[in-house]
Amino acid sequence: MDEQVRIPVVAGFARRRADGAAPAGPLPPPHSPPHSQAHSPKRTGKGLRARVPRSSHGAQASSGGRPDAVTAVEASNRGRVADLVPIRVGRMSAGPFAFLRGAAGLMAHDLAGTPVTGVAAQICGDAHAANFGLYGDARGRLVIDLNDFDETETGPWEWDLKRLTTSLVLAGRQAGADEDTCRSAAFDTVGAYRRTMRLLSKLPVLDAWNAIADEELVSHSDAHDLAGTLERVSEKARSNTSARFASKATEMCAGGGRRFVDAPPVLRRVPDEEAAAVAGSLAEYLGSLPDDRLPLLARYAVHDVAFRVVGTGSVGTRSYVVLLLDHRGEPLVLQVKEARASALLPYLPAAGFGPRRTEHHGRRVVLGQKRMQVVSDSLLGWTTVAGRPYQVRQFRNRKGSVDPAALAADQVDDYGRMTGALLARAHAHSADPRLIAGYCGRSGELDEAVAAFAMAYADRTEADHADLVAAVRCGRMAAEPGV
């Protein structure tokens, strides 16, 4: 059965699940091969090389029409809580790697002018090296994977790969690695992505789909030198729980229960009306969860709400922590975090993707996360507060991360191989790994091209960072360092 017959069958099956209707196409005859060789995804992927040579991915976009870095940061600050913008600018000013973390929109602008194959995937949109980490599954076991999806969209898989490799070059430079080591880290990251995609393309579909990102994947990516670092991060992550956060961030109330303690500027109490709006939004949140989660949350009561500042790229967005206690006084803390439109959204049409209408950006973030992870937070959902979309998730769910800029110089390439493998697995949930593997091939041609891109774009990012620092020094932008 060729591809022209198979696609309607799959689409018909999806409609049957949704509305009970019969499939739109005929079922395949017994024993027919799922693809003819002429129409195999692997061959289709190989065919894309004629239109988009793998070597073309080393090209930088033209700088014509590009906003200067300071103007781009100012634009990305619009709509954020004004009092928190100087914290965001201060964090981005800390170094080129930090600047890149907060400049997903600027890089998307630049990537929109670079070659893409047109193969769509659910992409992270902000797949820099610090957005990978550990978190707990429903049984408390630790998984390592991508863990930030604020910018997720359907888009070109190449964008995630180029952002990741650029971030590793910048992290390596900050860690004191020489240029050859940084280039090798970028090169090895692409190689791990390519080899992992090929491995997944050869597995039975269910095995590839359920491939867990764990120590076996670390071993596959030949990142053995990271074992000690990951073990230390794992030990710390196991104790990074709601209970520990609540013990430090809350106090007992005179009439029983607990409440948050002000710790400005990171954590602050909010007026009763604002707290009530957040707590009231949890009714909508419950409607976004599977029914089997509802009896669990019904055994908790809301005790307090506070505002808490979040990470570099998200600083200035509205984010709350909600304290829930069970009948024994044991805490569960939920994070209710504002979900803005993806920074990639204006630039995807130029790359051949979109336009796409999203009715609720919290829902977009949650569904994008679930499409990319094998194991997701069991309490992941979305809601609306005062007309703004939010995502909801467990706070401090045994989360832990490696700071790539603090690694030893000789570990940066190991970390690159690990994250490259993780990224391939995440993309393979929405894009056929046979298609991408067919394009990437066995040679290092793509590895060389993307590594060259990463080195050049890292240089551009360093210049952008210098412009931001100059704007702070001359008083054009306010910055609050060290927060």
Q: 81-100, pLDDT tens digit by residue?
A: 999 999 999 999 999 999 99
Residue 235: pLDDT over 90 = no
Q: Which two tokens stand for residue 244?
A: 């520990």
Judge whether 412 and 172 are in contact, CB under 8 Å: yes
Please state, in angstroms and rounded to a whole number, the distance separating the CA atoms of residues 139 and 146: 19
Which of 227-236, 328-337, 434-443 is least confident?
227-236
Total length of the chain: 483
> What SS3 class is residue 32?
coil
The tens digit of pLDDT for each residue in 146-200 reads 999 999 999 999 999 999 999 999 999 999 999 999 999 999 999 999 999 999 9
Please state, in angstroms and rounded to a whole number, the distance separating the CA atoms of residues 154 and 431: 10
DSSP secondary-structure letter at 60?
A: P
What mean pLDDT do residues 260-286 have? 96
Please give the single-letter amino acid code of residue 215. Answer: E
| Per-residue pLDDT at 62 | 77
Q: What is the pTM of this model?
A: 0.89
Q: Which two tokens stand for residue 236?
A: 């710390």
Please state, in angstroms and rounded to a whole number, the distance separating the CA atoms of residues 475 and 331: 44
What mean pLDDT do residues 411-433 have? 93
| Confidence grade of residue 241 (pLDDT, cut at 50, 70, 90) | confident
| Confidence grade of residue 478 (pLDDT, cut at 50, 70, 90) | very high
Judge whether 360 and 288 are in contact, CB under 8 Å: no
First-last CA distance in the chain = 60
Task: Count CB neighbours of 210 within 10 A.
Answer: 11
Judge whether 376 and 185 are in contact, CB under 8 Å: no
Please state, in angstroms and rounded to a whole number, the distance separating the CA atoms of residues 453 and 328: 55
Q: Give residue for tokens 């709400």.
A: 305
Residue 17: pLDDT over 50 = no
For the chain, the average pLDDT equals 87
| Per-residue pLDDT at 217 | 56
